[in-house]
């Protein structure tokens, strides 16, 4: 694992800044994915956001940030997304602090902010090395879920497309009533991968993601997931709240091509509802 500490000034960070809503946020000359697939949406409250800007104006140090170096030469924010977006939004003119927007500042004050030095670790390495490093960062406070960490390691065209179906607020709302967890925290995506890999272990999930990392899209996963949900609805047309959270994909994988005994399967479903950890 190669880790290099770099100084990035705010003007470099803001260069090419663009917030395209759910299509992503970029900066650093368009090379930095500020809000990659594994990251959550912007959550800073006004007080936290303003504190970041006041730190810059007083020339106090901000905590170090972490960027992952991608194979294509680009970067992704691993830790520091909220601070990064706060800075870029302020320079963009999206909000003011103490009644002063960036464009209201005197030229010397603007220059002081644009010249402010951010300390950033550039992290390069093999997937296993990156995962270990990201987990260390997570323990230190980044609070990423397991799937968010996996997305960081296996980032690429496949993950970017998968989030359209399983993570975005604009995603097709198919099967939500059968899933537990949070789409924004990548738990819906994690569930779908478990099912298609027919393996609920960490290694099984990583294996599928590694195999598909550079696929141009996640069509296979999305079509499979729809098949699972349609099978459940056709097999058990009467929805009950206890059906939420059952690992339906494993049942689909086993019974989809069989002429099963409906009553036997119904008994198995009942057992799963009573013991949700039996195959989770």
SS3 letters across 29-97: CCCEECCCCCCCCCCCCHHHHHHHHHHHHCCCCCCCEEEEECCCCCEEEEECHHHHHHHHHHHHCCCCE
Residue 79 φ then ψ, to 5°: -140, 125
Helices (H), the chain: 10-14, 46-57, 81-92, 107-114, 127-137, 146-153, 157-166, 187-197, 202-212, 219-235, 248-255, 262-274
Rounded Cα distance, 255 and 273, in Å: 18
Q: Kindly list the domain boundaries of the chain, sorted by start residue.
A: 1-155, 156-280
Phi/psi class of residue 61: alpha, beta or left (left: φ > 0; alpha: ψ in -120 to 50)? beta
For residue 206, what is the DSSP state? Answer: H
pLDDT for 279 equals: 42
pTM of the model: 0.57
Token pair recorded at residue 107: 């030229």
pLDDT for 275 equals: 62
Q: Report whether 104 contacts 95 (CB < 8 A).
A: no
Token pair recorded at residue 184: 């924004």
pLDDT for 139 equals: 52
pLDDT for 135 equals: 67
pLDDT for 145 equals: 78
Q: List average pLDDT for each run of 10 residues in the chain, which is 280 residues long.
A: 90 93 84 71 77 94 88 85 93 93 95 96 80 64 72 82 86 92 90 96 94 94 97 89 94 83 65 56
């Amino acid at each position: 694992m190669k880790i290099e500490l770099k100084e990035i000034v705010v003007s470099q960070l803001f260069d090419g800044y663009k917030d395209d809503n759910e299509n992503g946020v970029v900066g650093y000359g368009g090379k930095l994915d500020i809000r990659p697939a594994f990251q959550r949406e912007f959550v800073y409250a006004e007080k936290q956001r303003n504190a970041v800007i006041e730190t810059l104006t007083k020339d106090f140090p901000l905590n170090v940030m972490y960027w992952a170096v991608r194979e294509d030469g680009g970067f992704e924010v691993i830790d520091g997304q909220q601070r990064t977006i706060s800075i870029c939004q302020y320079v963009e003119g999206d909000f003011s602090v103490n009644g002063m927007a960036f464009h209201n500042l005197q030229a010397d004050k603007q220059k002081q902010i644009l010249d402010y030095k951010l300390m950033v670790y550039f992290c390069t390495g093999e997937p296993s090395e990156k995962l270990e490093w990201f987990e260390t960062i997570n323990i230190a406070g980044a609070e990423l879920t397991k799937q968010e960490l996996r997305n960081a390691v296996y980032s690429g065209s496949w993950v970017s497309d998968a989030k359209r179906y399983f993570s975005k607020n604009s995603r097709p709302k198919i099967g939500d009533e059968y899933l537990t967890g949070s789409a924004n925290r990548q738990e819906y995506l994690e569930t779908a991968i478990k099912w298609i890999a027919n393996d609920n272990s960490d290694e099984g999930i990583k294996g599928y993601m590694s195999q598909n990392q550079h696929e141009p899209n996640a069509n296979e996963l999305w079509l499979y997931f729809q098949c699972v949900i349609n099978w459940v609805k056709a097999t058990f047309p009467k929805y009950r709240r206890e059906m939420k959270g059952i690992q339906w994909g494993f049942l689909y994988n086993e019974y989809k091509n069989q002429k099963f005994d409906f009553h036997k399967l119904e008994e198995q479903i009942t057992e799963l509802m009573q013991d949700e950890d039996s195959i989770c």
